[in-house]
Every structure is written in structure tokens, then in C-alpha cells.
Amino acid sequence: PLVLRDYNLIKWIGANSYRTSHYPYADEIMDLADRLGIVVIDECPAVAIDHFEDPLLKNHLQAMTELISRDKNRPSVIMWSVGNEPRSYRNQSGEYFKNVYDHTRLLDKTRPITLVINADYKTDHASQHFDVIAINRYFGWYSDTGHLELIQNQTLSDLRHWRAARGKPVMITEYGADTLAGLHMLPSMVFTEEYQAELMSQNFKAFDIAKSEGWFVGEMIWNFADFMTKQEPRRVAGNKKGIFTRDRQPKLSAHILASRYWYLADQTPKERYTERNQCSQQPNRLWFP
């Protein structure tokens, strides 16, 4: 039931894709993506890797072999991700990830391959080997916290630098802000629902300009729903960047994102209203005809 709820919510907000961050998902979850027409960036379990030595490379290549062997015939899988936020500023990462890319390309000659990067374009040594540049950026949250007025220019400038440096399609795979459901302040402050919504809106402005230039190919928010993490000062009982709570209830940000995605899908307001009401009344009938 929880997985069905998740897919219903994905449809409700008008999304058409997700990334299996940061590990392969169960067969049953992937089966539903195939069935419902949700496209997937399929990611192997390689998070924040460092010390790019032969034993790690051997395990990494094996992980990609197993992932592609399992999911290569799935229509939902449109791209492989070989990892998330490696220490790609290290010189050794360049040769390491060239080996990972070449191995993955031998296993699948058709799908694009990416590596999700959080390094700066000037110091990254790995992304040039991949087909799509996928970056994680948290302007207004982890940097320049509280300064919503800087986000549009910072995001657009960063995206353009990646495009100029690599000459490849660019997408953003993470952006967002932690938000406590029910916390409201005006003017907005960090951790409020208003701040999350305003941060998203500033990112949208940058995305729209980049998209109009013809090389920006996708946007993915971090993240779908709140989840538990270890205890640390920057977390309030877990990671609260979800647009839905842990029990899958919408925050203000979910409504903001739904309005954007349905607009991007070229839906009229009447069609949005009709589909949302059908979803809330007969979710199984709508999504499983």
C-alpha cells in the first residue's frame, strides 16, 4: 500500500520520473514504474566514494554489472547513474570513472550514463566521461542560507558554467530545503513551509531560462518524502527536505511543485482540477485501469 501511495502521489504532482537514490530499488517498485509509465534513472549503490583504488573499482564494476543485468530490459529505465556525490575533485577520480563508464557502456550500448556530481565544475575530474551532466546544488540552504534573492543568479550561472565547460546536456538532480510541516512565518525563515516554497520558486526561474537555451534537460527536487537519518545538529528528527511528510501528507511545497509540473505538461487548469479530484476519489481506478 505505501508503494502504491507513493506512485499515486508522483502522478498527482504531475511528475514523470525519479532517480533510485542512492541504490537500486526492489523489483516490485520497478515493476510499477514499468506499468505506470514513470521513467527512472537507475543508480548503483556508490555514495560519496573516495580513495579510488583497485579494490573499490572492482566492486563498483561488479555492482554495475549486477544492476544492468537485472534492469536492462525494463522500459522505465532510461539512464544509468554510476554514483552520487563522489569526491570527484581528487585527481584519481578521472581515470577511475572513465573505467566505470567504459565498463557500463560495454554492458549497455544504448542508454545514456551519468554520474551525479556535487563538486565545482572547475575542480571536477570525472563528469567529462559521461553523457549527461547531473548536479546537486543547494543554493540558499547549505550556502548563503536564508538569501533567497541570490538563488536564481547562482543557479543559472552554475548551470551555464557546466554547459560551457562540458558541452553536454545538463540536469539538476537535487535542490531543496529542510521544512517542518506546519511551521509558518512571514517573512519566511529557514525550516518554514514558506521558505521551502520560495526557494523552489527561485530555482524554477533559473531552470526556465536554462531550458529555453536548449541544453537543460531535467529537474529533480530533493526530495519526495521526509526520511530518518542519524542524529546531528543540522537535522530535525531526520531529513525534512521532502515535499511530503513521512506519512505521505503534502506540505505547501507539494502543491507548488504540482502546479509547476502540470504547467510544464501543458495541462489546462480545468484538466488539473479534474485529474486531481479523480486521483483523490478513485486512485486505483485512475492509475490501474
Please state which of the ranges 21-35, 84-98, 108-122, 255-269 shows the lowest mean pLDDT.
Answer: 255-269
Whether 85 is catalytic is yes
Exposure pattern of 195-224 as b/e (b: 16+ CB <10 Å)? Answer: bbbbbbebbbebbeebeeeebbbbbbbbbb
pLDDT value of position 266: 75
Is 80 exceeded by the pLDDT of residue 275? no
At 280, the pLDDT band (50, 70, 90 cuts) reads very low
Specify the pTM: 0.90
Q: H/E element holding 40?
A: strand 39-43
**Mean pLDDT score, 109-130:** 98
Residue 288 has pLDDT above 50, yes or no: no
| Catalytic pick among 53, 66, 85, 149 | 85
